Structure 1
Amino acid sequence: MTEPAPEQPQQPPPPTDNTAHLPARVTGPLGVQLSLVSRNGTRRPMHRTRHPDRPAADNGASAPALVAVAHGSRDPQALRTVLALLDRVRDLRPGLDVRLGHIELNAPLLPDTLDGLRGAEAVLVPLLLGRGHHVKHDLPTATAAAPGVRTRIAAPLGPHPLLVEALYGRLVEAGWDAADHGGRRAAVVLAGAGSRDPDSAQDTRRTARLLAERLGVPVVPAYASANTPTVPAALRALAARGRHRAFVASYFTAPGRFASACADAVPHRAAAPLGAHPAMARLVLHRYDQARAAVAPADVVSLLASA
């Protein structure tokens, strides 16, 4: 990214009323501060940004910031869940500057978070589970609009074996027992948000295959929107095949409207969203490290080429 122009000497402000610009001056800094808030409401320390021409004092100081990019939700539990996940990430990598930015609906929005990193380097890690519109278009657009930050965009979280580990863990919490549910009547519906992008659907199907290998039972992808089948339709299809003991695996990073709608299909056998499962924190750091290690981020290059 291009470096920001040197600051010009400040001129005395003209004697005009600047109150019209007050909202912009308030919401930008507020968003930056919120990106550093932990789940218990305390503020994480602001890491100092190393000047690009100065040598790093240690490895922690020279590492790019990790900007976790969440979708955003009107469900207040969603933000709490994402903050808990980022706390786990910080615990695994002490000293790493970990920040949060949302695509929509919640503060801090991604542009505000990037604005707080002017002159620094950052790796954007989407807390998204496949190659959909947000990863292919929204994130590159946001980074292009923030020329003062040198950025890389990591691959989305899925598909990956660590994601399957988190899905399995949530199913066990919901009552899945391999000894009881590994027979001919058992199955799992992998319930996701849905996308019109064929790459996103392909990623969900691949995760379903990986989870089926782990569980030893059929796993059928289903969606809350955009794609078919719906979760109820998938459950009916499995029942028609004699698979009456079906669980729903929540293929969502955090709670929200779509996650709740999918769980309502079989509330007594629906797993919780992936949330702050320990495997999710490891996966976030894995994607961060992958993006840092790539001379040219191959994951992103392939995403943009297929867009």
Structure 2
Amino acid sequence: MTESAAHRESLPLDSTAQLLTRITTQLGTQLRHVSLNGTRRPMTPPPHPPPHQAPYRAHPAAYRALPPPPPTLVAVAHGSRDPGALRTVTALLERVRELRPGLDVRLGHIELNEPLLTGTLADLEPGRAVLVPLLLGRGYHVKYDLPQAAVTAPHLRIRTAAPLGPHPLLVEALYARLTEAGWTASDSAHRGSGVVLAAAGSRDPESAADTRTTAALLGERLGGVPVLPAYASAASPTVPEALRALAARGRHRTAVASYFTAPGRFAAQSAAAAPWIASAPLGAHPALARLLLLRYDQALAGRSPAPRRQLTAA
């Protein structure tokens, strides 16, 4: 044994002052986990910082057991030159954030408005995202534009949700907008009443099928009132043609139900053709916000994927 080792062995373990200090420190640590009634407080897990932040890099084991943050919800709007469209979609997404606090909700447009979808995806940190189209049926944008945008973001693992329609929540929003415009229970009972469901239109037959399904559901919600689908572009019948078809059946008290998520040229054009009342676009109706989150959850569960077609090389 060396002289220094022998000297250390001959020293007392602690002075009285040192021993008291150690006891006080340990006791204080234990008491921090005890409430006033003597029960032990549950340990609070540390917050879950993004992996790129310094605390995670320094102490990854402390956060390894925590669940990962939910994928970002990217709402995909079409875009419009009408300034009211962006305001409406922004208000809708605020409702979504209120319903699901803590969920990262972003906006991307297919065209005409900033931010564009490709830009929104490029700005996201590497991780997961779900594209939720604010579109009311299957068509070119859902089947082609969204998958092509996803290809531009290889740093993300992307799922694409089904379009919003058809769904009973949309019907509830349509009914509420018609009521706001002046539709009453007596109108539903009036034998001369009818409704034209005015949609954007698409050359895709599946999009038209989705609109017809919504028209049938709205007719049931209105107590059997005939509801004819009509289109502002790319398909027939047009809104004026549908109004004439209802008039030929003796339905002269006809309303136009605006089947658009936000204001725009097609919505204004369809409303202008109404001989009686025209409802406002669906906008930030609470049912629409709930439906948006439902499509997000369905996409994560893999229960309702949006139809996809094979992309061809550009």
Q: TM-score range by the shorter chain?
A: 0.7 to 0.9
The aligned residue for residue 21 of structure 1 is none
Q: 2:256 aligns with which of 217, 228, 248?
A: 248
The aligned residue for residue 12 of structure 1 is none
2:103, 2:65 → 1: CA distance? 14
What is the root-mean-square deviation of aligned Cα atoms in Å?
2.3
Q: Does 1:118 align with 2:122?
A: no
Instruction: Please state how far the C-alpha of 1:48 moved relative to its aligned partner.
Output: 7.0
Q: 1:71 aligns with which of 69, 75, 78?
A: 78
Residues 89-128 of structure 1 aligned to structure 2 (within 5 Å): 89-128=96-135
CA distance 1:57–1:113, change in 2 (3 Å): farther
The aligned residue for residue 188 of structure 2 is 181
Contact persistence 1:189–1:246 (CA under 8 A): yes
Residues 206-285 of structure 1 aligned to structure 2 (within 5 Å): 206-215=213-222, 216-266=224-274, 268-285=276-293
Q: 2:69 aligns with which of 62, 65, 80?
A: 62
The aligned residue for residue 41 of structure 1 is none
Q: Does 1:190 align with 2:197?
A: yes
Aligned residue type for 1:266: A
Aligned residue type for 1:269: I
CA distance 1:262–1:249, change in 2 (3 Å): same
1:185, 1:121 → 2: CA distance? 52
Q: Which moved more, 1:142-151 or 1:178-187?
A: 178-187
The aligned residue for residue 94 of structure 2 is 87
Residues 22-37 of structure 1 aligned to structure 2 (within 5 Å): none
Q: 1:143 aligns with which of 150, 168, 174?
A: 150
Identity over aligned residues, as a percent?
68
2:121, 2:137 → 1: CA distance? 23
The aligned residue for residue 176 of structure 2 is 169
CA distance 1:221–1:56, change in 2 (3 Å): farther
1:126, 1:219 → 2: CA distance? 25
Q: 1:202 aligns with which of 196, 209, 213?
A: 209
Instruction: Please state how far the C-alpha of 1:236 moved relative to its aligned partner.
Output: 1.0
User: Number of aligned pairs?
Assistant: 257
Structure 2 unpaired stretches of 5+:
1-47
1:158, 1:48 → 2: CA distance? 36
Instruction: Please state how far the C-alpha of 1:181 moved relative to its aligned partner.
Output: 3.3
1:207, 1:276 → 2: CA distance? 19
What CA deviation, in whole Å up to 9, does each residue of 1:37-73 have, x standing for no partner?
A: xxxxxxxxxx9755699657866x6100100000000
Q: SS of 2:305's equivalent? A: helix
TM-score, normalisation: structure 1: 0.79
Contact persistence 1:131–1:303 (CA under 8 A): no
The aligned residue for residue 16 of structure 2 is none
What CA deviation, in whole Å up to 9, does each residue of 1:109-146 have, x standing for no partner?
A: 00110011131210000000000000000000000111
2:183, 2:197 → 1: CA distance? 14
Instruction: Please state how far the C-alpha of 1:148 moved relative to its aligned partner.
Output: 0.7
CA distance 1:48–1:152, change in 2 (3 Å): farther
CA distance 1:48–1:65, change in 2 (3 Å): farther
Structure 1 unpaired stretches of 5+:
1-46
Q: SS of 1:243's equivalent? A: coil
1:56, 1:172 → 2: CA distance? 52
2:280, 2:301 → 1: CA distance? 33
The aligned residue for residue 304 of structure 1 is 309
Aligned residue type for 1:97: D
Contact persistence 2:298–2:304 (CA under 8 A): no
Q: SS of 1:99's equivalent? A: strand
Q: SS of 1:78's equivalent? A: helix
Contact persistence 1:153–1:291 (CA under 8 A): yes
Q: Which moved more, 1:227-236 or 1:126-135?
A: 227-236
Instruction: Please state how far the C-alpha of 1:186 moved relative to its aligned partner.
Output: 0.6
Q: 2:299 aligns with which of 291, 301, 305?
A: 291
CA distance 1:267–1:99, change in 2 (3 Å): farther
TM-score, normalisation: structure 2: 0.77
Instruction: Please state how far the C-alpha of 1:191 moved relative to its aligned partner.
Output: 0.1
